[in-house]
Amino acid sequence: MGLLRMAARTAVVAGTATAVSGRVANRQANKFASQQAAQQQAAQQQYAQQQPAAPQQPAAVPDEATVQLQNLANLHSQGILTDAEFAAAKAKILGI
């Protein structure tokens, strides 16, 4: 009976060791999976932050010549400038 008892004890110890080993392996696998997920999420956030935003078009600021031409056009449409005066002033602004 001593041999049977020793075999039973060995089986219990081996079974316990296997159960503990499996449990430890599962914990390590879960921990590794959590770390991988966190690293992947951090990498995605970093990548998203590195993506440049679409450049916004600056508001068109009319240059001085454009403003002067608009003023001339207003004066011409109001009848203050004749066609000849408008053409001469326009040519002067445009440097023609």
Residue 37: pLDDT band by 50, 70, 90 thresholds?
confident
Residue 83: pLDDT band by 50, 70, 90 thresholds?
very high
Q: Which domain holds residue 44?
A: 1-51
> Would residue 21 count as lying in a domain?
yes
For the chain, the distance separating the N- and C-terminal CA atoms, rounded to the nearest angstrom, is 121
Q: What is the pLDDT of residue 53?
A: 66
> Would residue 22 count as lying in a domain?
yes
Residue 82: pLDDT band by 50, 70, 90 thresholds?
very high
> Would residue 56 count as lying in a domain?
no
pTM for this prediction: 0.37
Cα(33)–Cα(37) distance, rounded to whole angstroms? Answer: 6
Q: What is the pLDDT of residue 58?
A: 65
Calculate the CA 63 to chain-centre distance.
Answer: 35
Q: What is the pLDDT of residue 76?
A: 92
